[in-house]
Amino acid sequence: MTHPTLPGHPHIAYQGDTLCIENVRVDDLAATYGTPLFVYSQAAMQDALAAYQRGFAGRKLHICYAMKANSSLAILQFFAEQGCGFDIVSGGELERVLAAGGDAGKVIFSGVGKTRAEMLQALQAGILCFNVESEAELEELSAVATAVGHIAPVSIRINPNVDPKTHPYISTGLKGNKFGIAHERTLAVYQRAASLPGLQVVGIDFHIGSQITETTPYLDATDRLLDLIEEIEAAGIPIHHIDFGGGLGINYNGDTPPAADTLWAQLLAKIDARGFGNRQFVIEPGRSLVGNAGLCVTQVLYLKPGETKNFCIVDAAMNDLPRPTMYQAFHAIAPLQVRAEPAQTYDVVGPICESGDWIGRDRSLAVQAGDRLAVLSTGAYCMSMASNYNTRGRAAEVLVNGAQADLIRSRETAADTFRGETLRARTAA
């Protein structure tokens, strides 16, 4: 019997006709915890992290996990235990890092819209660095730090105007994007930062996008970054660390991104040739550490034949898996139990009252109502972007390590979704 292809999932595979994650039958997890259900492989995350560690062997390196990809506490705990820092974009994410046992001194604070309250929170926590994204933010951070007698370590995010050749919604390094300082303004902004009270220039940063599958954008951006460092240091402003961001893609559907260690061997050869090989490096991988480590289990509710489309209606929806709706993204879909009967072509859709609530289009599946399916490569930007639309509780989550499976998030109830809301006081008739 032919089994479906599972791209990019060495720890998610069929044993016989049953889909397993590491040494655990996924169907058993669904039977225990219900559906929709997110399940993650710890071994897959460990392997992904190890590729970065190999690529930077012998170098001074901070790996700061970009937690917006998946901010579940147990996932953060795992990376903290591996010695990682964190790339955050909100005060709430900083609170999550600390709740998971992370070290504030290994935190990079990115994002274009930091509030004064968030700046103060991060200063008091003692974070590693602020990645500043605008001249106005630089002035505001100086004022906040000075008012409380702190020194804010800053790195300025430059916009190198390099096309990452990815979806426009997750491209961040072009002139038309909201992120970073224009390449041409970099020296002037660094000079202003060096003159402001309450700030200490410690680094330089770029991040050109997400789900990047080619090396050329990284190489081009690195050349521009190194040119700028030479120009800034010639003006008397030392750069202590170089932050290359993240954005490396994963295999969703036959994608062929370079392995992390392969990519960094090429980048470091360029960096060494320019004389910067002994610097402190910072990288901020997110999707590439967790994306292929996760799957979402969903149950088939109904099969609905139509004149032009057959629909496989499942209990997971766009509130659980927003990427197809938001980015027209592809996720492989595979049965937990392989059937011998002929397959049919279906659009796999959820129960939410939106035509945009689809999980996969034109998929060949041999399924019946009651069967369970796995939506693959859902470790990144799924649970972290999940919502309660249609008053749907967010799914439960399980982390698998070998033969051990731990519930790391309980399924939300309807009451959970409106906790914190209040009814107005009734007025007398």
Sequential DSSP letters for 289-342:
HHGGGEEEEEEEEEEE--SS--EEEES--TTT--HHHHH-----EEESB--SSP
pLDDT in tens, 133-163: 999 999 999 999 999 999 999 999 998 766 5
Q: Are residues 134 and 208 in the same domain?
A: yes
Q: What is the pLDDT of residue 157?
A: 93
Q: Are residues 349 and 396 in the same domain?
A: yes
Q: Are residues 322 and 234 in the same domain?
A: no
**Helical packing angle, 73-81 and 91-99, nearest 10°:** 70
Cβ–Cβ under 8 Å, residues 27 and 336: yes
Q: What is the pLDDT of residue 254?
A: 87
CATH number of the CATH domain containing 228 = 3.20.20.10
Domain that holds residue 404: 12-41+291-417
Give the C-alpha separation, 266 to 255, whole Å.
20
pLDDT class for 358, splitting at 50, 70, 90? very high
Domain-ending residue, one of 236, 254, 285:
285
At residue 281, does pLDDT exceed 90?
yes
At residue 1, does pLDDT exceed 70?
no
Burial environment of residue 78 by CB neighbours within 10 A (0 to 12, 13 to 18, 19 or more): buried
Q: Are residues 198 and 265 in the same domain?
A: yes
Instruction: Decide if 383 is inside a domain.
Output: yes
How long, in residues, is the chain? 429
CATH number of the CATH domain containing 385 = 2.40.37.10
Q: Are residues 223 and 325 in the same domain?
A: no
Instruction: Decide if 303 is inside a domain.
Output: yes
Our measurement of the distance from residue 217's CA atom to the centroid of its chain's CA atoms, rounded to an integer in Å, reads 19
At residue 114, does pLDDT exceed 90?
yes
**DSSP type of residue 428:** P
Instruction: Decide if 83 is inside a domain.
Output: no
What is the average per-residue pLDDT within 23-50?
Answer: 98
Q: Are residues 156 and 197 in the same domain?
A: yes
Give the C-alpha separation, 63 to 82, whole Å.
10
Give the C-alpha separation, 119 to 115, whole Å.
6
Q: Are residues 411 and 333 in the same domain?
A: yes
Q: What is the pLDDT of residue 206?
A: 87
Instruction: Decide if 237 is inside a domain.
Output: yes
Both tokens assigned to 21: 């994650």
Buried b (16+ CB within 10 A) or exposed e, 39-58: bbbbbbbeebbebbeebbee
At residue 388, does pLDDT exceed 50?
yes
Residue 135 has phi, psi (to 5 degrees) of -65, -35
Q: What is the pLDDT of residue 4?
A: 76
Q: What is the pLDDT of residue 321?
A: 97
Percentage of the chain lying above the pLDDT 90 cut: 81
Q: Are residues 264 and 344 in the same domain?
A: no
At residue 304, does pLDDT exceed 90?
yes
Domain count, the chain: 2
Domain-ending residue, one of 285, 316, 338:
285
Instruction: Decide if 140 is inside a domain.
Output: yes
Of 20, 84, 129, 353, catalytic: 353
84 labelled catalytic: no
Q: What is the pLDDT of residue 170?
A: 39
- Mean pLDDT over all residues of the chain? 92
Residues facing residue 41 across a β-bridge: 400
Instruction: Decide if 306 is inside a domain.
Output: yes
pLDDT in tens, 221-269: 888 899 999 999 999 999 999 999 988 899 999 888 889 999 999 999 9
Q: What is the pLDDT of residue 419?
A: 95
Parallel, antiparallel or unpaired: strands 129-132 and 152-159: parallel
What is the average per-residue pLDDT within 9-19?
Answer: 92
What is the average per-residue pLDDT within 13-22?
Answer: 95
Peptide bond into 335 cis (omega under 30): no
Q: Are residues 296 and 278 in the same domain?
A: no
Highest-confidence segment of 21-30, 180-189, 261-270: 21-30
Residue 160 has a CB neighbour count (10 Å cut-off) of 23
What residues contact 290, with CB distance under 8 A and at least 6 apart?
Answer: 40, 45, 48, 69, 70, 75, 379, 380
Q: Are residues 144 and 243 in the same domain?
A: yes
Cβ–Cβ under 8 Å, residues 130 and 148: no
When mean pLDDT is compared across 121-125, 161-165, 372-376, the lowest value belongs to 161-165
Q: Are residues 278 and 138 in the same domain?
A: yes
Domain-ending residue, one of 266, 285, 304:
285
Q: C-alpha angle 358/361/365, rounded to 5°?
A: 110
Instruction: Decide if 97 is inside a domain.
Output: no
**DSSP type of residue 240:** -
Buried b (16+ CB within 10 A) or exposed e, 300-309: beebeeeeee
Instruction: Decide if 53 is inside a domain.
Output: no
What is the average per-residue pLDDT within 304-318?
Answer: 95
Q: Are residues 317 and 236 in the same domain?
A: no
Both tokens assigned to 133: 């994204």
